[in-house]
C-alpha cells in the first residue's frame, strides 16, 4: 500500500513538472513571438527556452563538454535539417544558421544582414570599438585598422612572431607526448592565444603574458554567458577581469610610449606599436583608450577562429592522407627553392602556398555556424 502511494506521488510530481515545464516555455515563446506581429509567420522552427535564460543552460552545457556540437545536433534532431532555427541566446531572441551555404549568404550579404552583438559582448568589448561606435566613426576606425593590419610591415611581423610561437609549441608538444597523450583542442587553444598575444605585443615580459592570459580567459568566458552582473555569475567575473586587463594593457602602452620617447626599440615590434603610430586622413591618431579597447577586441576576435581552424584542418588532413600529401609536396617544393642563407619563412613563400590556403578556408567554412541576435 505504501509503495503504491509512493509511486502515485512520484507520478503526480513528474506529471506536474512536465506540465509546468511545457507551460512556462510556451508562455515565454508566445511573449517573444507575439511582439513580431506579422513577421512571426516567417520564423523557422525552434523554441525560445526558459524565460530570461532562454536556451543558454543547454548551450553552455554543450559548449563546456567534450562535444560542443551536441547543442546543434539536438536542435537538428528535434526540428529536422532545415539549416535555420529560432532560439534565445545571450539574453536575446536569435536565429541559428547551421548550413555552410546559408552561413556564406548571411556573412556576405551586407544589404540584408548587418553586424549585431549580444549584451555580454557589447559591455565587455569597450565603447571605443567596432561593436559600439557610430557608423561614421566605424568607417574611420575600420579604414585605419584595415590599412594597418594588411600593411607589408604588419604581414612580415605576423610571420616572424607566429613562427617563433609555433616552433616552440611543437617542441613542447613533442616532449610532453612522450609521457602521455596531449589534449589537442586545449593545446591549439593555448597556441592560438600565444599567436595573437605575440602579434599584438611583440616582445614583452613573461609576467605580462601570464597576467593578460589569466584575465583574458575570464573575459572570454563572460562573452559566452548571459549578462547577469551579480556575484557568482561568469559575466560579473568578466567585468572585473576586464578592469584588470585595461590596467595591464594601459601599462604596456605607457611603457612603449616611454621607450619611443627615449629612442629605444623593443626586440620585436607588435601590433600595439603600429596602433600607436597610425594616423587617419586628417592626421588624427588613436587615443590610449581606443588602443586598449581594440587590443581587448582583437584578443577576443582572433582567438576562437584560429583555434578551430587549426584543430579541424589538422584533423581533416590526418583523415584525408591524399590531401595531406599534396599539401606536403607543395611545402617541399617551396623549401627547395629557398636560398641556403635564409632562416625562417618569408612573406613571398606564404603567398606561394596556394593549395594549403585553400585547404584552410575550405575546412573553416565547412564548420560554419552563425548566430543572428536581434
Confidence of residue 237 (pLDDT cuts 50, 70, 90): very high
Residue 69: pLDDT band (50, 70, 90) is: confident
Per-residue pLDDT of 343-366, as tens digits, reads: 788 888 888 888 887 765 544 444
Q: Which residue would you say has higher pLDDT here, 286 or 268? A: 286
Report the C-alpha gap between 177 and 173 in whole angstroms: 6
pLDDT per residue as tens digits for the range 140-190: 777 777 767 777 777 777 787 788 888 888 888 888 877 788 888 888 888
Q: What global pTM score does this model have? A: 0.67
pLDDT at 243: 93
pLDDT of res. 373: 42
Mean pLDDT of 121-144: 71
Confidence of residue 370 (pLDDT cuts 50, 70, 90): very low
pLDDT, one tens digit per residue, over 316-343 is 888 888 988 998 898 888 888 888 888 7
**CATH class of the domain whose range is 135-305:** mainly alpha
Residue 40, pLDDT > 80, answer no
pLDDT band, very low/low/confident/very high, at 372 (cuts 50, 70, 90): very low
CATH 1.10.630.10 spans which residues of the chain? 135-305
Residue 47 CA to residue 52 CA, distance in Å, equals 13
pLDDT of residue 239: 93
From 343, 346, 342, 23, select the one nearest 158 (Cα to Cα): 346
CA distance 200 to 194: 10
- Which whole-number Å values give the CA distances from 89 to 56, 263, 370, in the listed order? 6, 50, 12
- Average pLDDT across the chain, whole number: 78
Helices (H), 150-268: 152-176, 184-201, 206-223, 234-261
Q: Which residue has the higher pLDDT, 180 or 246?
A: 246
Please state, for a pLDDT cut of 70, what percent of the chain lies above it: 78
| Dihedral sign of CA atoms 101, 106, 107, 109 in order | positive
CB proximity list for 122: less than 8 A, separation 6 or greater: 131, 132
Dump pLDDT digits (tens) for 25-35: 676 676 667 76
Predicted local distance difference test score (pLDDT) of residue 50:
75
Q: Helix or strand or coil: residue 180?
A: coil
Lowest pLDDT segment from 5-9, 92-96, 301-305: 5-9
Instruction: Flag whether pLDDT at 236 surpasses 90.
Output: yes
What is the per-residue pLDDT for 374?
41
Residue 243 or 65, more confident: 243
Distance of alpha carbon 138 from alpha carbon 129, whole angstroms: 8
Mean pLDDT computed over 111-134: 73
What mean pLDDT comes out for the span 49-60? 81
DSSP helix/strand/coil, 110: coil
Give the cell for residue 48.
Answer: 525560445
Residue 28: other Cβ atoms inside 10 A: 19
Give the list of residues 6+ apart from residue 58 with CB closer than 8 angstroms, or none.
Answer: 49, 71, 74
Per-residue confidence at 75, pLDDT binned at 50, 70, 90? confident
Beta carbons within 8 Å of 356's beta carbon, 6+ residues apart: 327, 330, 331
* pLDDT at res. 6: 65
Contacts of 156 (CB under 8 A, 6+ apart): 347
Amino acid at each position: 500500500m505504501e509503495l503504491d502511494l509512493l509511486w502515485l506521488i512520484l507520478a503526480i510530481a513528474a506529471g506536474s513538472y512536465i506540465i509546468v515545464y511545457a507551460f512556462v516555455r510556451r508562455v515565454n515563446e508566445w511573449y517573444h513571438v507575439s511582439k513580431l506581429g506579422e513577421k512571426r509567420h516567417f520564423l523557422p522552427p525552434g523554441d525560445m527556452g526558459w524565460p530570461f535564460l532562454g536556451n543558454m543552460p543547454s548551450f553552455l552545457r554543450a559548449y563546456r563538454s567534450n562535444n560542443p556540437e551536441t547543442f546543434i545536433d539536438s536542435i537538428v534532431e528535434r526540428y529536422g535539417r532545415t539549416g535555420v532555427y529560432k532560439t534565445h541566446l545571450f539574453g536575446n531572441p536569435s536565429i541559428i544558421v547551421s548550413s555552410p551555404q546559408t552561413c556564406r549568404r548571411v556573412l556576405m550579404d551586407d544589404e540584408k544582414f548587418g553586424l549585431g552583438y549580444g549584451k555580454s559582448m557589447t559591455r565587455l568589448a569597450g565603447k571605443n570599438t567596432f561593436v559600439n561606435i557610430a557608423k561614421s566613426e566605424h568607417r574611420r576606425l575600420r579604414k585605419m585598422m584595415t590599412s594597418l593590419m594588411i600593411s607589408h610591415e604588419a604581414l612580415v611581423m605576423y610571420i616572424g612572431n607566429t613562427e617563433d610561437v609555433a616552433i616552440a609549441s611543437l617542441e613542447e608538444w613533442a616532449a610532453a607526448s612522450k609521457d602521455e597523450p596531449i589534449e589537442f583542442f586545449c593545446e591549439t587553444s593555448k597556441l592560438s592565444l600565444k599567436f595573437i598575444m605575440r602579434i599584438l605585443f611583440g616582445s614583452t615580459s613573461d609576467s605580462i603574458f601570464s597576467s593578460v592570459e589569466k584575465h583574458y580567459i575570464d573575459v572570454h568566458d563572460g562573452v559566452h554567458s548571459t549578462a547577469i552582473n551579480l556575484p557568482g555569475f561568469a559575466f560579473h567575473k568578466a567585468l572585473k577581469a576586464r578592469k584588470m586587463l585595461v590596467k595591464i594593457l594601459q601599462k604596456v602602452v605607457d611603457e612603449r610610449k616611454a621607450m619611443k620617447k627615449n629612442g629605444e626599440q623593443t626586440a620585436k615590434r607588435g601590433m600595439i606599436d603600429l596602433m600607436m603610430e597610425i594616423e587617419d586622413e586628417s592626421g588624427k591618431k588613436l587615443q590610449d583608450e581606443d588602443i586598449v579597447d581594440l587590443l581587448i577586441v582583437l584578443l577576443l576576435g582572433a582567438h576562437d577562429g584560429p583555434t578551430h581552424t587549426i584543430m579541424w584542418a589538422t584533423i581533416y588532413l590526418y583523415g584525408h592522407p591524399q590531401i595531406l600529401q599534396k599539401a606536403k609536396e607543395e611545402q617541399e617544393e617551396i623549401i627547395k627553392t629557398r636560398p641556403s642563407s635564409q632562416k625562417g619563412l618569408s612573406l613571398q613563400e606564404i603567398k606561394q602556398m596556394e593549395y594549403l590556403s585553400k585547404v584552410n578556408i575550405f575546412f573553416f567554412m565547412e564548420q560554419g555556424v552563425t548566430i543572428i541576435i536581434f
